[in-house]
Amino acid sequence: MQINTGKAKDRFSELINLLVSHQEEEIIIANRGEPVVKMVLYDMPPVRQAGLAKGRFTVPDDLDASNDEIAEMFGV
């Protein structure tokens, strides 16, 4: 969808609702017929939550047993 700046100003809330409701993927705002702005729905990054995997796996007691060997392999 393309709309000129004057109409976009008057219908701004409606344009946002079109994006939120997924009726439009993007809205191009034009100045005198020339596209200048593309409106798209903001893609929110997922919220990370500490402890989300708690209880799903167990950490072996000897997890760090090979640290020195691995460091040597990398020349550290």
Tens of pLDDT, residues 19-32: 999 999 999 999 99
CA distance 34 to 59: 59
Q: Has residue 49 got a pLDDT over 90? A: no
Within a domain: residue 32? yes
Residue 23: which of 37, 50, 41 has the closest Cα? 41
Within a domain: residue 31? yes
Within a domain: residue 7? yes
16 vs 44 pLDDT, higher one: 16
Within a domain: residue 72? no
Within a domain: residue 70? no
Global pTM?
A: 0.58
Number of domains in the chain: 1
Length of the chain: 76
CA distance 76 to 73: 8
Containing domain of residue 30, as a range?
2-40
Tens of pLDDT, residues 7-16: 999 999 999 9
Q: Has residue 54 got a pLDDT over 90? A: no
